[in-house]
Amino acid sequence: MTFPLTRRHLMGHLLGGAGALLLSERAIAATTAKEEVGKGLAFEPNSFGKLAVPKVLPPLSVKNEQDQDVPLSHWYGKPFILHFWATWCPPCIRELPSVNATAKTLGAEGPQIVAVAVRGSTIPKVRAFYDSHGIDALPILVDPLSAVMMETADQTALIQSIRQVRPDDLKSLTPDVMSLHGVPRSLILNAKGEVVAESIGNMDWSADAVRHTVQALAG
């Protein structure tokens, strides 16, 4: 579902009624970047908000295709990207094929890209999307209640990322809604599994850009 309004109009209409959070979540996804058509934000350090202190996470897990819990610690040991998206999110849908192509180019050397589908993005929906779009280098993982996405969110870093690349959006978007519900979202975690930087909005992915950004922000 697409909402053809600007964020400024959306937030004025959506934040005061029953079901506002879910609706605003989808609206944010539909208008999350000014690059709605065409390339997204540059995948570079300046597009990310860096945490003042790396965020230590509690034990967290996502579900795989077999409905098994997969702990985030599975990817600890090397810096990696945790990418949240949704099957109903237009910018996510446009972006994911380039995320897949980047993951394929990076290969086993990494950094690894861990793509996790959130709210309403069930395993069957994700599998259908992967099959129809030729997604073959990303794991099928879901965060059914968006618990992992919300637990890993750092409001200050997300607001910083917006301020650096599209400050006008801050005039109308409340930080709590942005930090908890906006997708697509990319997090960079260091080798210890600590969150070091976050960005929100669809991005222009490439293997070289990912390597450079992860090295600059996570070492």
Residue 83 has φ and ψ, to the nearest 5°, of -115, 120
Per-residue pLDDT at 12 exceeds 90: no
Q: For residues 32 and 29, what is the distance between their CA atoms, to the nearest angstrom?
A: 5
Find the mean pLDDT for residues 146-165.
91
Per-residue pLDDT at 20 exceeds 60: no
pLDDT in tens, 25-71: 444 444 443 444 446 899 999 999 999 999 999 999 999 999 999 99
Contacts of 180 (CB under 8 A, 6+ apart): 146, 150, 153
pLDDT in tens, 95-113: 999 999 999 999 999 999 9
Q: How confident is the model at residue 177 (pLDDT cuts 50, 70, 90)?
A: low
Q: What angle do CA 166, 180, 184 make, to 5 degrees?
A: 55
Q: And the tokens for 91?
A: 């910018």
pLDDT in tens, 110-144: 999 999 999 889 999 999 999 999 999 999 999 99
pLDDT score recorded for residue 172: 67
**CA within 13 Å, CB half, 67:** 2
Q: What is the pTM of this model?
A: 0.83
pLDDT score recorded for residue 178: 54
3-state SS of the chain is: CCCCCCHHHHHHHHCCCCCHHHHHHHHHHHCCCCCCCCCCEECCHHHCEEEEEEECCCCCEEEECCCCEEEHHHHCCCCEEEEEECCCCHHHHHHHHHHHHHHHHHHHHCCEEEEEECCCCCHHHHHHHHHHHCCCCCCCEECCCCHHHHHHCCHHHHHHHHHHHCHHHHHCCCHHHHHHHCCCEEEEECCCCCEEEEEECCEECCHHHHHHHHHHHHC
Q: How confident is the model at residue 166 (pLDDT cuts 50, 70, 90)?
A: confident
- 138 to 22, 97, 116, 131, 217: CA distances (angstroms): 26, 10, 9, 12, 23
